[in-house]
Amino acid sequence: MTRTPPDISGSAKVFVRLADRTGSEEIPGIRSVKPGTIAVATECVGKGKTVITIGKLATYTVPCTTTPATTYNEIGLSSSKQNIDITVTAGSGVHWGLSVGWRPGMDSQEAGT
């Protein structure tokens, strides 16, 4: 149950790796990121959903069930960005983990696992 942060293999830089969290949380933002791809992996378990907001770049709503599930998304950046705040909104009965990383090269996709 989200005991380890979700996998973001292939990321050259890791900004966030959190595991076994409950409820909502604001996470210290990414101070600066170069053009490339931001990887966002979320795992949750429990009744409800998590909403992951990556600054003004993207918002992901992840449905949670009694079986842990991981969702992986990518955000392609064509220019540098600064001060990206990250917020996770989840009910008190939802356990979650979050990993956010970066790699060079731009790729943009959304894929649930």
Q: Rounded mean pLDDT of 88-102?
A: 95
Task: Kindly report, residue by residue over 18-76, the tens digit of the pLDDT.
Answer: 999 999 999 988 999 999 999 999 999 999 999 999 999 999 999 999 998 899 999 99
Q: Where are the beta strands (DSSP E) in the chain?
A: 13-22, 25-33, 36-45, 48-54, 58-64, 69-77, 81-90, 95-103, 109-112
Asked if 64 contacts 2 with a C-beta cutoff of 8 angstroms, the reply is: no
Contacts of 31 (CB under 8 A, 6+ apart): 82, 83
Spell out the domains of the chain, with CATH numbers in brackets.
Answer: 13-112 (2.60.120)
Structure tokens at 22: 């409950």
- Which residue would you say has higher pLDDT here, 6 or 107? 6
pTM: 0.89
Structure tokens at 101: 């990383």
Residue 108 has pLDDT above 50, yes or no: no
